[in-house]
Amino acid sequence: MAEGTTSTEEAKGFPPFKTETFPSQFFWLAVTFAFLFVMLWKVAGPRIQGVIASRRGAINSDIAAAQKARGDAENASAAYQTALAGARARANAHAEENRQKLNGEIAKAKAAADAEAQAAMSAAQARIDATQVAARGAVAAAAQEAAIAIVARLTGDTVSNAEAAAAVKES
Give the residues lining the site for another protein (CB under 8 A): 1, 4-6, 10-11, 14-18, 21-30, 32-33, 35-37, 39-41, 43-45, 47-52, 54-55, 58
Say how far apart CA 163 and CA 155 lie, in whole Å.
15
Q: Which is nearer to another protein, 45 or 71 (CB)?
A: 45
CB of 13 to another protein, least distance (A): 9
For residue 77, the minimal CB distance to another protein (Å) is 33
Residue closer to another protein, measured from CB, 42 or 101? 42
Closest approach, Cβ 66 to another protein, in A, equals 17
Q: For another protein, which is the closer residue by CB, 56 or 70?
A: 56
For another protein, give the closer residue by CB, 48 or 120: 48
C-beta closer to another protein: residue 39 or 150: 39
Q: How far is the CB of 46 from another protein (least distance, A)?
A: 10
The Cα–Cα gap between 164 and 171 comes to: 11
Nearest approach, Cβ of 63 to another protein (angstroms)?
A: 14
